[in-house]
Amino acid sequence: MAKRTAIKVSNLTHTVTANTGDLTILKGINLEIKEGESVAIVGSSGSGKSTLLGLLAGLDVNTSGEIVLYGQAFSSLDEEKRAIIRGEYVGFIFQSFHLLPSLQAIENVMLPAELKGDEGARKKAEQLLDKVGLSHRLTHYPNQLSGGEQQRVAIARAFASSPKILFADEPTGNLDEANGKIIIKQLFELNKSQGTTLIMVTHDNELAKKCDRHMVMSEGSLVEK
Amino acid sequence: MVNFAFKLMLRDLRSGDILMLLMALIISVSTVTTISLFIDRLQLSFEQESANLLAADRLIRSDEAIPKNWQFKARELSLKQARRTSFGTMIFSGDALQLSQLSAVTDSYPLKGAYLVDDTLFARGQPSKQPPKKGEVWLSSRLASLLNVRIGEKVEVGELQLTVAKYLVRDPGSSSSAFAISPRAVMNIRDLPSTKVIIPGSRVRYSLLLAGEPVDLENFESWVVPELKEGQRWRTPVEKGERIGDTIVKAESFLLLAGILAVVMSGIAMALASTRFVKRHLVQVAVLKTLGATPKVLIKVFSIQFVILFFTGALLGLAVGWGGQGVISSLLSGLMSTSLPEPSVGRLWLGTITGLVSMVAFCLPMMLRLIKISPMSVLHPSRKLEKNSLALYSMGFIGIYGLMCIYTKGFLLPSIMTLAMLAIGILVSIVGWMVFKLGRSLTSGATSGWQIGFASLYRRLLPNLFQLLVFTLIIMLGLVLVGVKSSIVTEWQEQLPVDAPNHYLFNVQKDQIEQINASTENLRVLRSDWYPMVRGRVISVNGKSIQTLYPEGKGEPELYERELNLTWSHSLGKGNKLLSGDFSADGLSIEQRVAKAANLSLGDTLTLNIGGNIVSLPITSVRSVDWSSMQPNFYLILPKRVLDGYSANFVSSLFISNENAQPFYKSMSQHPTVSILNVGDILKQIQTVIEQLSEAIQLVLLCILIAGALVLIASVRATLEERLEEGALLRVLGAKKALVQQSLVVEFGALGLFSGLIAAAGAEACVYALQVFIFKSQASWHPLLWALGPLIGISIITAIGLFASRIVLKVPPMHLLRDF
Ligand SMILES: Nc1ncnc2c1ncn2[C@@H]1O[C@H](COP(=O)(O)OP(=O)(O)OP(=O)(O)O)[C@@H](O)[C@H]1O
Ligand SMILES: [Mg+2]
């Protein structure tokens, strides 16, 4: 069965102005990712992985080229519309978790639904936290949780909006091996059960091998392996 | 959305960031409210005091009976009215007789203020709103002693017998006619016709007193003033209260200054709290954006939070402010002769505006900046905000400046303060940068607290300079207030020592002086020098006669209006200050205010008619006179040779204590021609006002200093996180607790010392400018400030810093690394 295209990138270039002059971080990237695929991007530090990820997710606007996400070209949208798309299609997991420190675990997970004005936010959040094995820590604050636990809350939060694409930037980067494994396991399970497209930046080759596709970023260019 | 915003905010409350904002807002609204309400109450109370001086809101004084149609017009405008007819007359009691100043008043008198009367001689008196009833008379204690009558006995006024019902202590509305030098009595105006003392040609002063709504009074004024003839004057309380006027103006300026400082401190508090809020919410907002929060949603969320925050803060602040002024007033009430009038609720807008402006100037731009953060920063945490902070701070600056202007209804005071703060800002940056750099280069390595302390001062140069600036500003503002307060209070106390003269002796002949001196010496009564006094009138200026200059007396300055008391003197009297010219020259010395009113300056020639002789003299010196000194003071002082030929009366002022009053009056009864003027009432009034004001500004000062301390704490807290993180790091790296502590002491101590020193310099400059431009008093040095500044700086800042950082030293380092 022919799968839908989740993201299509053509001739993507990104240039930023640094204090030393213009710096081209991404140099003509072409890429197509189908719905439900899992993609790993590896590459040395400073090669532009995070920048690419941010552009794919519509967190920033690229200098030239085009990114089309489920048929919508980001370049034609303003921040308002891009934010709506993010809320609709996209989920995120970060290296440093980025839970809101003033909110309890459950409240962090409820956040995406609340932003949309969803009624059943709490129920859904409880279910998700249960899935990542944290049903006993609903009312704990981030600083009362270990790094691994925080990342599991972050995963639950990322899936709370039932995203079609999940972006993860080194989700295990701040965790020890054991915790990293748990996170990966849960990530893939949820990914499977919800049919999400997964795009992940990682340094971990083993993790990269688990993905359907494996790409290498090197000095602003992307090569499929 | 409201619901969500509210929920987010409630959750945020737990983190304390919103609480900080709320606290800052409450502090700013409540301090400004407290002060403005308190000023309002004081002003109302001064108005009452001055109403007491006038006994009405407005008054018309006339040498002829008041035309009936004026009274009709006043009734038409629904003004309250009272009439008073005063004249000098003999009062008899058996064989004794005494020339007295008698006023006959309507039952409605006084419209404002109250009589003070008593049943015992020379007592303090109880207020009475009603005048004497028909058939009664009230005599001043002195008059009663002179006539040797007591309450219940009868005296005769013209053809009528009246019963003495009370001893008169204060006669509201009479202090203006201070130069009516005979002892006083009051009777009811309905008895006046039957006395038959007023005959055509008698010198009588008629007054029509009015009270009512300001609009109606203004209408009446514009109607009646064109009708005024010669010998008729329209009077307002302001001119009457001139003596205390100056004192009140100074106190008001002080309180306004205090208010300004409150505004500035609130601004600082607000800025600190907002900065902290933004810092802690940057990543959160970016995360919300990745979760699909659109700019619109975020603007809505933050606007709702902004509004909720504003209303909560403003309401709480107003409540606290209302309570605060209540506390100040009740603390003062023990000292005050009368209780303060209730403040007007209408004045609450000032606090509300302050809250709004400081939120809009500090909080709003920060929030907007927060909303603009790129969601990309979740992936690049170091790239956070574009730094357009100069524009931001100038917005805050303009906001504060605007508030100060609203607050003082003027530009001078705010401009002085703003310039001072700018100058301090520049000074702090330069000095701070040099000192931190020097400190760093003198101590390298990381083995002692000194080294670590100075290293961290230099490393976080910008935040530390900012903190230094905040410390300096707050300490400086506090010191300015202390300096201004102490100089005002000292000046007041010097002006009116407890033994300031409270009696004047007039009409003393040269041969009576020795006897009077003897009896005052016996009673140990303090006495000023004797001044000879000759009456004279100015008839022309630079050769032009007064009549041609001011036909029909229209617009005539006071100097030409009436006969003047002239004197000669070899030296400038107490309370006199030479402003220009040469006092010993052979010419006139003129008082500056009347000179200004008559547009006279050095070199102008005045021609005087002194007892029929015409004398022309140039003005050779200009003096300022401190009218509240209660010394005999003169508009014009002539050379001795001019007045030598005239028979002069002598005048002197005395301080007579309550115990001395009766024996003194008795001894003076040997000199029935000598007139005694008791100004004790006026004096007491001035003294009470000064006492109240000194006390009041002391309390306000305290208020501001407390607010300042709170802001200091907030500003230490603002940078605490970084310091904590560092302290924990040092300890993880194996530093001993004592070392971390030592480095913190060095850091805070240095910050405190320098902010204290610079603040003292800034405060000295500021107080100087204020003394010269605002308070118009003499500038002086304030060694106190130079001692207090560094002391407060070091001790308070180190104490607050260490107290706030005690967590660093107590908690295991692991906790800290996890928290931040
Ligand atoms: N806005 C910007 N201004 C200046 N330089 C930037 C900007 N954004 C990214 N860069 C630079 O572009 C390069 C790529 O950054 P990016 O974060 O994408 O790398 P990365 O592959 O994720 O590295 P790492 O594996 O260390 O996370 C880096 O050298 C970074 O400093
Ligand atoms: Mg990266």
Pick the residue whose CA is nearest to atom 16 on ligand 1. Answer: A48
d(CA B80, CA B97): 37
- Are B200 and B255 within one domain? no
Q: How many residues does chain A have?
A: 225
- Are B348 and B425 within one domain? no
Q: Shortest CA distance to B350 belongs to which of B271, B266, B270, B413?
A: B266
pLDDT at B39: 75
Question: How do the domains of chain A map onto residue ranges?
Answer: 5-224
Angstroms from A3 CA to nearest CA on chain B = 26
Assess B124–A contact: CB distance below 8 Å, yes or no: no
Lining residues, ligand 1, CB within 6 Å = A 16, 18, 23, 25, 43, 45-51; B 380, 383
pLDDT at A132: 87
- Are B568 and B684 within one domain? no
Helices and strands: H and E segment counts in chain B? 27, 23
Q: Using a CB-CB distance cutoff of 8 angstroms, which residues of chain A are in contact with residue B287?
A: 98, 100
pLDDT at A33: 94
Alpha helices in B618-773 (DSSP H): 640-643, 658-668, 680-718, 720-732, 737-769
Tell me the pTM. Answer: 0.69
Of B359, B375, B410, at which residue does a domain stop? B410
Q: Shortest CA distance to B271 belongs to which of B420, B426, B470?
A: B470
Q: Please report whether residue B105 resides in a domain.
A: yes
pLDDT at B247: 66
Domain count for chain B, please give it: 4
Residue bearing the bigger pLDDT, A25 or B386:
A25
* Nearest residue of chain A to residue B12 (CA atoms): A102
To test the pocket of ligand 1, the residue of A47, A61, A222 to mutate (highest count of ligand atoms within 8 Å of its CB) is A47
Q: Please tell me the distance between residue A49's alpha carbon and the centre of ligand 2 in angstroms.
A: 6
- Are B257 and B343 within one domain? yes
CA angle B589, B595, B597 (to 5 degrees): 165
d(CA B94, CA B403): 69
Assess B381–A contact: CB distance below 8 Å, yes or no: yes
Q: Please report whether residue B698 resides in a domain.
A: yes
d(CA A3, CA A38): 13
Give chain A's contact residues with B (Cβ, < 8 Å): 50-51, 53-54, 57, 59-60, 79-80, 83-84, 86-88, 90, 92, 94, 96, 98, 100-103, 107, 111-112, 114-117, 143, 157, 161, 169
Q: Give the contacts of B65 (CB within 8 A, at least 6 positions apart).
A: B206
Q: Which of A51, A98, A115 comes nearest B378 by C-beta?
A: A98
**Strands (DSSP E) found in B29-148:** 58-62, 80-93, 96-105, 115-118, 126-128, 136-140
Query: What is the span of the domain harbouring residue B134?
Result: 83-206
- Are B699 and B808 within one domain? yes
To test the pocket of ligand 1, the residue of A25, A63, A94 to mutate (highest count of ligand atoms within 8 Å of its CB) is A25
pLDDT at B443: 67
For chains A and B, count residue pairs whose Cβ atoms are closer than 8 Å: 87
Give the pLDDT confidence of A29-49 residue by residue, as tens digits.
999 999 999 999 999 998 999
SS3 category, B557: coil
Task: Name the burial class of residue A104, with classes exposed (0-12), middle (13-18) and buried (19+) by CB atoms within 10 angstroms of its CB.
Answer: buried
d(CA B564, CA B724): 76
Q: Please report whether residue B506 resides in a domain.
A: no
A21 dihedral zone (left: phi>0; alpha: psi -120 to 50; beta): left
- Are B126 and B273 within one domain? no
d(CA A196, CA B275): 39
Q: Please report whether residue B353 resides in a domain.
A: yes
Assess B378–A contact: CB distance below 8 Å, yes or no: yes
Give the pLDDT confidence of A105-157 residue by residue, as tens digits.
999 999 888 887 778 888 999 999 998 889 999 999 888 898 889 999 999 99
Pick the residue whose CA is nearest to atom 24 on ligand 1. Answer: A45
SS3 category, B509: coil
Give the pLDDT confidence of B608-666 residue by residue, as tens digits.
988 888 889 999 999 988 766 667 778 889 888 888 878 778 888 888 887 777 788 77
Cα distances (angstroms) measured from residue B114 to each of B50, B61, B192, B242? 12, 20, 22, 20
pLDDT at B234: 83
- Are B263 and B140 within one domain? no
Pick the residue whose CA is nearest to atom 25 on ligand 1. Answer: A45
d(CA B288, CA A59): 12
Of B410, B443, B478, at which residue does a domain stop? B410
- Are B441 and B391 within one domain? no
Tokens 């670590």 -> residue: B452
What the block records as the tokens of A21 is 């002059």
Q: Using a CB-CB distance cutoff of 8 angstroms, which residues of chain B are in contact with residue A96?
A: 381
Tokens 């005494």 -> residue: B98
pLDDT at B809: 62
CA B565 to chain CA centroid, Å, is: 33
- Are B627 and B696 within one domain? no
Q: Shortest CA distance to B743 belongs to which of B489, B457, B465?
A: B457
Of B410, B427, B457, at which residue does a domain stop? B410
Intervals of chain B under pLDDT 50 = 176-180, 239-241, 337, 816, 818-820
Tokens 């070199």 -> residue: B603
Assess B612–A contact: CB distance below 8 Å, yes or no: no
Q: Please report whether residue B513 resides in a domain.
A: no
What the block records as the tokens of B568 is 């000669």
Q: Using a CB-CB distance cutoff of 8 angstroms, which residues of chain B are in contact with residue A116?
A: 292
- Helix, strand, coil shares of chain A, percent, nearest 5, are 40, 30, 30
What CATH topology corresponds to A5-224? Answer: Rossmann fold (3.40.50)
- Are B406 and B435 within one domain? no
Q: Please tell me the distance between residue B439's alpha carbon and the centre of ligand 1 in angstroms.
A: 37
A161–B292: do the CB atoms touch at under 8 Å? yes
- Are B614 and B753 within one domain? no
CA B228 to chain CA centroid, Å, is: 35
- Are B143 and B264 within one domain? no
- Termini Cα distance of chain A: 24
Cα distances (angstroms) measured from residue B246 to each of B173, B610, B629? 20, 33, 12
The neighbouring-strand residues paired with A12 are: A29
Ligand nearest to C-alpha B383: 1
To test the pocket of ligand 1, the residue of A13, A42, A50 to mutate (highest count of ligand atoms within 8 Å of its CB) is A50
The neighbouring-strand residues paired with B86 are: B103, B205
Interface mutation vs chain B, best among A49, A50, A98, most B CBs within 10 Å:
A98
